[in-house]
Amino acid sequence: MLIAGNWKMYKGPAETAEFCLGLRDQELEGVDVVVCPPFVSLAVAVQLLAGTEIAVAAQNVHWEEEGAYTGEVAVGMLRELGVYGTIVGHSERRQYFGETDETVGKRVHAALEAGLFVIACIGETEEERERNETEDVLRRQLSVLEPDDNLVLAYEPVWAIGTGKTATPEMAHEAHDFIKSQLDVPVLYGGSVKPENAAELLSRSSIDGALVGGASLDLESFTAICRAAIRS
Ligand code: PEP
């Protein structure tokens, strides 16, 4: 079971240090824990979590080794920092920053090639679900990915991210089953996971963990979700 915290554009180095110092002291045996701070906070997170089982991942990475790509970060730069992996294809990148299936595929491929662990995000919008297109969308998003020991997927229905709306465990289970029939890798669920709903979601056999946004910013709620994963 894997619990990953996506901090999005929250927590600079000082807040990251405070969180990591608190996280270091928690007993979290029996669950794999990953935190994904913004780029500028990766170094301090790696430093403060060194020697623990808690991994640090970025929120994105570029596919070229280096070059004139203002605002992007290369795989080698993450490796140099001691970062363990990266999220790729988060729906906020797809929605607001023009990320496409093609660029997601390139980022995932480059990161895996370099030995990074990757959490690749997929999921349908509310309109797509209403039009009964969920499976078509997932199939299309998955078409650029191949199984790899270092790859996990996060099924994140876009309508459930940061909205307080959560897919029912049944809906998540159905989507996870479909995803696994297309690509045989672990699948995390993401979309308003909180301490109150984590245990029920994580009890489903097809749900291999969670990618947590809002609730990962607070040490108490994040560790409560990690503990729900340990118990499940
Ligand atoms: C996310 O950012 O991946 C996410 C699932 O956010 P939230 O938990 O806030 O819905």
Question: Rounded to the nearest whole angstrom, what is the distance from the C-alpha of residue 67 to the centroid of ligand 1?
Answer: 31
Nearest CA to ligand 1 atom 4: 213
- Inter-axis angle of helices 134-142 and 169-182, nearest 10: 40
Q: Look at residue 165 in the predicted model and tell me its pLDDT.
A: 80
pTM higher than 0.75, yes or no? yes
Question: pLDDT tens track of the chain, all 232 residues?
Answer: 999 999 999 999 999 999 999 999 999 999 999 999 999 999 999 999 999 999 999 999 999 999 999 999 999 999 999 999 999 999 999 999 999 999 999 999 999 999 999 999 999 999 999 999 999 999 999 999 999 999 999 999 998 887 888 888 899 999 999 999 999 999 999 999 999 999 999 999 999 999 999 999 999 999 999 999 999 8
Residue 175 to residue 160: CA distance in whole angstroms: 14
pLDDT at 166: 81
Per the annotation, the verdict on 156 as an active-site residue is yes
Residue 90 has a pLDDT of 97
Q: What angle do CA 154, 204, 182 make, to 5 degrees?
A: 45
Distance CA 155, CA 190 (A): 6
Q: Whose CA is nearest to atom 2 of ligand 1?
A: 213
CA pair distance 182, 200, nearest whole angstrom: 25
* Residue 90 a catalytic site member: yes
